[in-house]
Amino acid sequence: MANRPVLAPQLRRLRRELFSSPGDGVLSISLIVLIGLVAIGFLRWAFGQASWAVIQVNSTLFAVGRYPIEQQWRLWLLTALLAAATGLSWGLLRASPRPDRTGTLWPRHDRLAVVILVLGALWLPWALRLAALIQLRWWLVVALLVGCRWAAGRFAAVLPSALRRLVPLLWPALYLLGMVLISGGLGLVTVPPSEWGGLLLTLLAASFAILLCFPIGVMLALGRRSDLPLLRWGSVLYIEFIRGAPLITLLFLGQNILGFLLPGGLAPERIWRAAWVLTFFAAAYLAESVRSGLSAVPPGQFEAARSLGLSYGQTLQQVVLPQALRVALPAMVGQFISLLQDTTLLSLIGLLDLLGTARTVMANPAFLGKSAEVYLTLAVLFWCCCAALGLGSRALERRLDPHTIPSAT
């Protein structure tokens, strides 16, 4: 054993972790072979048999549905604004997690994310053989995102803190602006909701429901803990009723009942009816998460705030809710993610969301038998959206947790 070859430390670690005993070795080797076979099979399918023409030809349909072509510049503008806002927020989050912490501006994960983003932006539009102009637009969007990320991280320290506090307000402002850009009004040509579709509709319905179910859910949770019997029982009844019914039945109910209940013309567009049903459905589940967060706040916090003279509202806003929501955040994000996936049910009530669009595409005889390609694309798109939600929530969680903040000295 004298001249046993010296292994690099990484290889030594690999050997320790994978081959520490004969049993482990057998298990490791069979797993590696299995994974390798699956990967090779998949790659051969993806680059050999699979025909991605179905995605290439229909990429616009998947993205925005039947949104009129001459108005699509509005969506590009919105995408660019969203990229800029994402870059800004990302950079600021890294630049100053807290006034008392000096963070690194470009952690390893961030550099990795930028590389993936840039490579994806260069490769994907090319692989899909999009028009040169559209490829260029995607490059510009990603360049804008990375540029804003860099600028925000670089110059955040120079910004006055009053201005920096305004950055989170960018998002609601952008949401309202986005609604105008998408639907028209204020001098823009109106594009009726029936012409929205694909990823646009999916994201719109999901973000609408996520944004609105949050305040409703918090109010339901507070109502459930209220001293007023009417409020308490009302909240309990609502939560239990909604949680006892499958979403799909509620969606059908919403489509039919709202039409009967509201006089003609007053009933909202089918898409809005569905979005409201999603909102009220999610609010009931969210209320339960918030309630668990509320019960994690010790009663002493409430007493301390009250004994300092804070009113009930101030106590909730300043002391109880910040702590409760931080505890409830992981569960809430879990619900937001399943809400995003629940939007696929919209296709069952005849709306052309991402899944609905996919079904119409697959029904086209020209693309017969191409369902694997379509479903895989759908899965990747959903995975990207959910991963973004998860990443954002984890960053927020770390930022809100006072215990992870190292001391100033």
Report the residue number, 257 or 400, with the smaller CB distance to other proteins. Answer: 400
Distance CA 84, CA 86 (A): 5
CA–CA distance from 258 to each of 138, 216, 217, 277, 352 (Å)?
40, 20, 22, 10, 20
Site mask, other proteins, residues 327-366, x = CB under 8 A? Answer: ----------------------------------------
Q: Is 326 in the site for other proteins (CB under 8 A)?
A: yes
Distance CA 82, CA 157 (A): 23
Task: Name the minimum Å distance from CB 327 to other proteins.
Answer: 11
Task: Name the minimum Å distance from CB 329 to other proteins.
Answer: 13
Report the residue number, 187 or 300, with the smaller CB distance to other proteins. Answer: 300
Site mask, other proteins, residues 51-90, x = CB under 8 A? Answer: ----------------------------------------
Report the residue number, 319 or 346, with the smaller CB distance to other proteins. Answer: 319
CA–CA distance from 104 to each of 91, 154, 379, 394 (Å)?
11, 11, 34, 18
Report the residue number, 21 or 409, with the smaller CB distance to other proteins. Answer: 409
In this structure, what are the phi and psi dihedrals at residue 347, rounded to the nearest 5 degrees?
-65, -25
Report the residue number, 24 or 303, with the smaller CB distance to other proteins. Answer: 303
Q: Which stretch binds other proteins (CB under 8 A): 124-132, 213-221, 225-233, 322-330?
A: 322-330
Three-state SS at 51: coil
Q: Binding to other proteins (CB under 8 A): which residues in 373-402?
A: 400, 402
Q: Is 24 in the site for other proteins (CB under 8 A)?
A: no
User: Are 347 and 317 contacting, i.e. CB atoms less than 8 angstroms apart?
Assistant: no
CB atoms inside a 10 Å sphere around CB 336: 22
User: Are 358 and 374 contacting, i.e. CB atoms less than 8 angstroms apart?
Assistant: yes
Q: Is 323 in the site for other proteins (CB under 8 A)?
A: yes
User: Are 188 and 254 contacting, i.e. CB atoms less than 8 angstroms apart?
Assistant: no
Task: Name the minimum Å distance from CB 305 to other proteins.
Answer: 8
CB atoms inside a 10 Å sphere around CB 357: 27
Distance CA 306, CA 143 (A): 50
Q: Which stretch binds other proteins (CB under 8 A): 257-265, 266-274, 288-296, 321-329?
A: 321-329
Q: Is 100 in the site for other proteins (CB under 8 A)?
A: yes
Q: Of 180, 222, 210, which Cα lies nearest the Cα of 320?
A: 222
Q: Is 322 in the site for other proteins (CB under 8 A)?
A: yes
Residue that is written with structure tokens 């299995």 in the block: 34
Task: Name the minimum Å distance from CB 187 to other proteins.
Answer: 42
Site mask, other proteins, residues 105-144, x = CB under 8 A? Answer: ----------------------------------------
Return the DSSP state at 197: -
Report the residue number, 319 or 378, with the smaller CB distance to other proteins. Answer: 319
Q: Is 403 in the site for other proteins (CB under 8 A)?
A: yes
Report the residue number, 318 or 364, with the smaller CB distance to other proteins. Answer: 318
CA–CA distance from 308 to each of 148, 173, 175, 321, 367 (Å)?
43, 35, 38, 17, 69
Q: Is 408 in the site for other proteins (CB under 8 A)?
A: yes
Task: Name the minimum Å distance from CB 303 to other proteins.
Answer: 5
Distance CA 376, CA 390 (A): 21
Q: Is 318 in the site for other proteins (CB under 8 A)?
A: yes
Q: Binding to other proteins (CB under 8 A): which residues in 287-316?
A: 298, 300-301, 303-311, 314
User: Are 59 and 50 contacting, i.e. CB atoms less than 8 angstroms apart?
Assistant: no
Q: Which stretch binds other proteins (CB under 8 A): 32-40, 319-327, 333-341, 345-353?
A: 319-327
Q: How far is CA 280 from the centre of its chain?
A: 19
Q: How far is CA 47 from the centre of its chain?
A: 29
Report the residue number, 74 or 326, with the smaller CB distance to other proteins. Answer: 326
Residues binding other proteins (CB under 8 A): 100, 298, 300-301, 303-311, 314, 318-319, 322-323, 326, 400, 402-403, 405, 407-409
